[in-house]
Amino acid sequence: MENKKIPLLQIKNITKVYNIGENKLDILKGINLTVEEGEFVAIMGPSGSGKSTLMHILGLLDRPTDGVYEIYGQNVLKFNDSQTAFLRSKIIGFVFQQYNLLNKMTAADNVALPLVYSGGKNRKERAEKLLGEVDLSNRTEHKPTQLSGGQQQRVAIARALVNDPKIIFADEPTGNLSSKQSNEIMQILTDLNKKGISIILVTHEPDIAKWADRLITIKDGQVIGDTRQKPSKQVKSNPIEIKKVAAHLSFAEFAENFFSAIRAIISNKTRSLLTMLGIIIGVASIISMLALGSGAQKSLEKQITSMGTNLLYLMPGRISLGGVSGSVTRRIYLKDVDALAENTELIKNIDPNVSGSVQVVYGNKNTNTSITGATPAYQYMQNSVPQYGRFFTKTENENLAKVCLVGTTVVKNLFGNENPVGKYIKINRKKFRVIGILPVKGAQGYRDGDDMVIVPLNTAMKRLLGTQYVSSVAVEVQDGKMSETETYLLQTMLERNKLTAEHADAFRIRNMSDMIQMLTSTTQTMTMLLGAVAGISLIVGGIGIMNIMLVSVSERTREIGLRKAIGATGIAILLQFLIESSVLSLLGGISGVTLGVIISLVVSKFAGWAVFVSSFSIILSVGFSAFVGIVFGLWPAKKASELSPIEALRHD
Ligand code: ADP
Ligand code: MG
C-alpha cells in the first residue's frame, strides 16, 4: 500500500444528463476516477461515449448533473465563480482539439492572455520563452491564421502552460493533425509530464494512447477498463492553496480590455461609426443648443444691466370695471410726470416717452422705423449719448424743434456711407434735421435696437403722433430707494386718478430684475425644450449602442468562452464589454462635442447670434454619453459574463 497522500483529483459518481425536449439523455452514468500527481493518463473510447463531456467537467468548463469532484481534497463544485476562475487559471491547462486561439491576436499575445487574468508579470518574455520551448520562437508575431494546424496546437499548449498548471487536459489534441505533427505534440506532452505535470489526454487512436502510462477505457458513459502501461513518475504531492482571484481590476487587465475594445472598434469601422452617429448627433445638438441658449441669455443680461439697475418703468395698466363694460386704461399725462418728479428724495431723473411707427424719407430712399419721443434725460438713463453729433436740448424740446437722432440701421438704410448729421429727412412728411447718431445697441430680443429714430417728446406728441398722454415713464431712482419709490409711484398715480388700492392694476411698474426675469425665462424655456429634443436623440443613440453590443457579444461568444476557460472571472468579462461600450460612447461623445462646438461657431459667424459653450455643457454631455454607454452596455455584458465556458465555446 502506498502512503496516504491527497490525490490531485478525484471524482465520485459523476453523472451528466442532457434534456433534449422530452427526452433525457444519460451521457455519463456514474464515473469514478482518481488521478495522482505526476500521472499521464489516456482516455479512450468510441465516438459519442462521453469522453469530451467528462473532460469538460474535469476542466471545470461544464458542471456535472450529479456527483462529487475534489481537487486536492476540496469539493470544487461548491466553489464560487472567482474560486473556479482561479482553478482554471492556476491549476488547470486545457488543450482543445480545435486549438481555440483568438484570431485577432499574435501567437505571443495568445500565449500571454491567461497571465492578464492571473496577474502574472513579464508577460511578453514568458510568452516568448514558452513559444521557444514548443519550437516556435520564429513565429511569435504570427496571427493564428498564418500558422499550420500543428503550430497552432503548439501555441495552444504554450498558452496552457503559461501559468505553471498542475495538470493539463487535452481533448484529442492531435485529432486534426498529421502523424508527424501528432508525434511532435505527444513528445511535448511527454516532456512536460517528465517535469512533473500531470496529463489527461483523450484520444481514439491506439497509437496516441500508447504514449501514456495509464489507459482508461470508456463506453456508453461508464469506465470499462483501467490498465497501467508503465509506472508513473513519482512526484511529491505539493498541493496549491486554492484562493480567490483578485476581485479588483488590475491595470494589465484594464489595458488588455481597453485595447481589445479599440481593436474591436477598428476592425468594424463602418459599424462603429454608424453606432456612434446617434451619440454624436445627440451630443452635438446638446452642445450647440445650450451654446445658443446661454449665448442669447448672456447678451440679453448684458444689455439690460448696461441700461442701469436703478431704473423703474411706469406704464398704464388696465382696470376691470366688471360686467359687460370690460376694462379701461388710465392714461399718464405730462402733468402727472411733473407731479411725480417733485419728490427729488426718491427720484433722480425722470423721462416720459411716447412711441410709434413712422415712415422716414431721405432723397429717393425711404424706410419704416420706430420713433421714440423723449426728454434730454433719455441719453443718460438709456446709455444713449450720441457717438456722433449731439442730443437735443431742453429748450429744443420745449420749442417743439424738428430735430432728430437716428440709429445706425436707419443711417444704413437711408444714407449709405453719407454722413447724416446736418442733413434733413422727412418724418411723416415733415422736415427734421438730423443732429446725432445713436450708439450701437445690437439685437434686443427679436428686435433690432438700432432701427429707431428719437425726437423731442413734445415734438413727437404734438407734431407727429398727435397724442395727449405718454406711453411709459422711465424713472431713475436714488440709491437704495427702489421699493420705496415703487410704492410712491403707484400711490401717487392712484391718488391723482381717485382710485383705491383695489385698482392697483391701473398702473404697472417694472424694475430691471423683472425685465431680466421676463426675458431669461423665455430663453430658458426655449433652451430646455431644445435640450429635451437633444436628450431624446442621445437615448436613441444609446439604444444603437446596446444593439451593437448585443451583436458584438453574440459574435464573440466563442471568445468569451475561451477567456473564461483560461481563467477570466464573470466580472472580468462584464468589465471587458462595459469598457468596450464606454469607449464607443465616449468616442462618440468627444466627436459630438467637437461637432457641436464647430456648429455653434459657424452659427455665430453666419447668423450673427451670440453663442457661449460652457464647460458645464461639455461635462454634461460627455458624462451623459459615457453613462449611456455603461447603462446600455450593461445588459449585453451581463449576458456574456453569465455564460458557461463550454456553452460559449460551442456557440457558432
Ligand atoms: P465523445 O466521446 O465523442 O467526446 P461527447 O462527450 O462529445 O462524446 O458526447 C457524448 C454524447 O453526448 C453524444 O451522444 C452527444 O450527442 C451528446 N452531447 C454532447 N453535448 C451535448 C449537448 N450540449 N446537448 C445534448 N447532447 C449532447
Ligand atoms: Mg469528443
Give the tens place of pLDDT for each residue, 103-118: 989 999 999 999 988 8
Q: Which of 557, 514, 579, 580 is nearest to 649 (CA)?
A: 557
> What single DSSP character describes residue 376?
T
Query: From ligand 2's centre to the CA of 174, what distance in Å?
Result: 12
Indicate which residue's Cα is closest to atom 11 of ligand 1: 48
User: Which atom in ligand 1 lies closest to the alpha carbon of residue 25?
Assistant: 26
Quick: pLDDT tens for 133-165: 889 999 999 999 999 998 999 999 999 999 989
Residue 310 has pLDDT above 90, yes or no: no
Q: How confident is the model at residue 306 (pLDDT cuts 50, 70, 90)?
A: low
Q: What is the pLDDT of residue 443?
A: 66
Query: From ligand 1's centre to the CA of 50, what distance in Å?
Result: 6
Evaluate whether 95 touches 171 at the Cβ level (below 8 Å). yes
From the CB of 361, is ligand 1 less than 6 Å away? no
From the CB of 17, is ligand 1 less than 6 Å away? no
Residue 593 has pLDDT above 60, yes or no: yes
Query: Quick check: helix, strand or coil at residue 67?
Result: strand
**Strand-pair category, 214-219 with 40-44:** parallel
Indicate which residue's Cα is closest to atom 27 of ligand 1: 18
Only one residue has cell 430735430, namely 403
Probe ligand 1: pick from 15, 19, 25, max atoms within 8 Å of CB? Answer: 25
Residue 1 has pLDDT above 50, yes or no: no
Residue 540 has pLDDT above 60, yes or no: yes
User: Which atom in ligand 1 lies closest to the alpha carbon of residue 51?
Assistant: 2
pTM over 0.75: no
In DSSP notation, 514-548 reads: HHHHHHHHHHHHHHHHHHHHHHHHHHHHHHHHHHH
Probe ligand 1: pick from 52, 58, 205, max atoms within 8 Å of CB? Answer: 52
Query: From ligand 2's centre to the CA of 171, what distance in Å?
Result: 7
From the CB of 47, is ligand 1 less than 6 Å away? yes
From the CB of 46, is ligand 1 less than 6 Å away? no
User: Which atom in ligand 1 lies closest to the alpha carbon of residue 18?
Assistant: 25
Over range 505-529, report the average pLDDT: 78
**Who's near 431: CB < 8 A, 6+ residues apart?**
402, 424, 425
Residue 233 has pLDDT above 80, yes or no: no
In DSSP notation, 351-369 reads: EEEEEEEEEEEETTEEEEE
Query: From ligand 2's centre to the CA of 86, what distance in Å?
Result: 25
Indicate which residue's Cα is closest to atom 16 of ligand 1: 48
Q: What is the pLDDT of residue 513?
A: 72
Probe ligand 1: pick from 16, 17, 23, 27, max atoms within 8 Å of CB? Answer: 27
**Residue 404 phi/psi, 5° resolution?**
-150, 160
E strand segments, 375-506: 388-389, 403-406, 424-427, 430-437, 443-444, 447-448, 452-456, 469-470, 472-477
* Residues in a beta bridge with 170: 95, 201
**Residue 225 phi/psi, 5° resolution?**
-160, 145
Query: From ligand 1's centre to the CA of 220, what distance in Å?
Result: 11
* Residues in a beta bridge with 18: 25
CA distance linking residue 407 with residue 543, whole number of Å: 53
Q: How confident is the model at residue 444 (pLDDT cuts 50, 70, 90)?
A: low
Indicate which residue's Cα is closest to atom 23 of ligand 1: 18
Indicate which residue's Cα is closest to atom 15 of ligand 1: 48
> What single DSSP character describes residue 27?
E
Q: What is the pLDDT of residue 326?
A: 62
CA distance linking residue 457 with residue 374, whole number of Å: 4
Query: From ligand 2's centre to the CA of 213, what distance in Å?
Result: 21
Over range 237-244, report the average pLDDT: 67
Q: What is the pLDDT of residue 2?
A: 45
Over range 435-464, report the average pLDDT: 86
Report how far apart, in Å, the C-alpha atoms of 477 and of each of 303, 457, 473, 484, 537 are: 19, 21, 12, 10, 49
Report how far apart, in Å, the C-alpha atoms of 141 and of each of 109, 167, 458, 529 are: 8, 28, 93, 55
Query: From ligand 1's centre to the CA of 95, what distance in Å?
Result: 18
Query: Quick check: helix, strand or coil at residue 128?
Result: helix
Q: What is the pLDDT of residue 307?
A: 63
Only one residue has cell 456514474, namely 30
Indicate the helix (H) or strand (E) that contains 234: none
Q: Which three cell numbers stand for residue 383?
A: 446709455
CA distance linking residue 157 with residue 170, whole number of Å: 9
From the CB of 50, is ligand 1 less than 6 Å away? yes
Q: Which three cell numbers stand for residue 358?
A: 413712422
Higher pLDDT, 292 or 492: 492
Q: Which of 224, 311, 315, 343 is nearest to 509 (CA)?
A: 315
A 10 A CB-CB count for 65 gives 15
Q: What is the pLDDT of residue 321?
A: 65
CA distance linking residue 71 with residue 59, whole number of Å: 11
CA distance linking residue 350 with residue 337, whole number of Å: 8
Report how far apart, in Å, the C-alpha atoms of 504 and of each of 41, 332, 490, 492, 494 are: 103, 14, 7, 11, 7
